[in-house]
Structure 1
C-alpha cells in the first residue's frame, strides 16, 4: 500500500465531475487500499478518489457511532455511489472540514438520513442506509465526485482552533 498525496485547492481535479468506475481489476483494488491507508494516516473519516488526484467515482469511509476513539469502526468502500433517498424534511446544520481544504471549517446543512446505492470493491451492488454523522460523511464525499466542496455549501466558513480542526476534518 502507498500513502498518496492529498490534492488541495485550487487543484482542478477537485472541481471536475468524476467518471464512473467500470473496471474493478488490480489497479482499482490498489487504489482502494491506497485510499484507505491515506485516509487513516491523514487522519480522516472519508476520502474521495479526486482527493488523491484520480477523477473516479470512488469513496472510502471509516466511521464508528461510538464517541470512544478505541471503539471499532466500520469501513465502507463504494464505487459509483448515488444518493437515492433523503429525509426531505429532516436537515441538520453541522460543522465540516476537508483534507483538501486545509485550515478551514464551515457550517453545512445536510440531510439527516439518506440511502446510498452503489457497488462494493468487487463490483457487486450495495445499498447503505445512513443517518447522523455517517450520512453527513457520505454526502460530503459524494459531493467531491461532483466537483463540489463543502465551502460551496457552507453558510459560514472560518479558520478553526487546533481542537476544532482535529475534530472536523473529513
Structure 2
C-alpha cells in the first residue's frame, strides 16, 4: 500500500469526468488499497481515484468501524428520495474548509466490487451524502459547485488564506 499525493483544488483534473473501470485485476485492487491508505492519511472518510489524479470511477468510503471500509467501482445513483437533508461537507482536495450542502436523504446505488461483481446498495444519512458527494466528484462536479456563488467565493477565499499559511 502506498500513500499517494492528493490533487489539490483548483487543479483542473478535479473537473474531469472519470472513466468507467473495465478491467478488474490486481492493479485495481492495488489502487483501492492505495486510496484507503491515502484517505486515512489525509485524513478523510471518502476518496475517489480522481482525488489522486487517476481518472477511474473508483470510490473508497470508511464510515463505520464495524463494517470497515468499502470500495465502490463504477457507482451510479439509480434512485434518490424526494426528502432532502443538509450536511457539513469538505474534501481531501480542499483541506481545512467545509460548508453545508443539501442532498437527498436516501439513495440507491448500483456498483461493482473490485472483483467485478455487481451490487445494489440503499443508504441514508451520512452514507447517502457520501455516495452523492463522491459520485458527483467522479462526474467532474467538485462539491463546492453545490454551494451558492456567494458561499463558494467565501469558501475559496478561506481556503486560499489557509493554504498560504
- Short-chain TM bin: 0.7 to 0.9
In the alignment, structure 2 segments of 5+ residues that lack a partner are 160-165
2:66 matched to 1:72?
A: yes
1:80-91 map, 5 Å = 80-88=74-82, 90-91=83-84
Say which SS state the counterpart of residue 36 (structure 2) adopts: helix
2:113 matched to 1:113?
A: no
CA RMSD between the two structures:
1.5
Aligned to 1:24: 24
Which whole-Å CA distance do the structure 1 matches of 2:138 and 2:2 have between them?
A: 22
Q: Runs (4+) of structure 1 moved beyond 2 Å? A: 71-74, 155-160
Choose the corresponding residue for 2:118, options 116, 125, 142.
125
Query: Normalising to structure 2: TM-score of the pair?
Result: 0.87
Q: Compute the displacement of 1:104 (Å).
A: 2.1
- Aligned residue pairs: how many? 153
Aligned to 1:100: 93
In the alignment, structure 1 segments of 5+ residues that lack a partner are 65-70, 161-170
Which whole-Å CA distance do the structure 1 matches of 2:21 and 2:57 have between them?
A: 6
Q: Compute the displacement of 1:73 (Å).
A: 4.5
Work out whether residues 13 and 54 of structure 1, in 8 Å CA contact, stay in contact via their aligned partners in 2.
no
Which structure is higher in strand share? 1
Say which SS state the counterpart of residue 96 (structure 2) adopts: strand
Q: Deviations over 1:108-142 (max 9, x none)?
A: 10001000101011110011111001100111111
Aligned to 2:7: 7
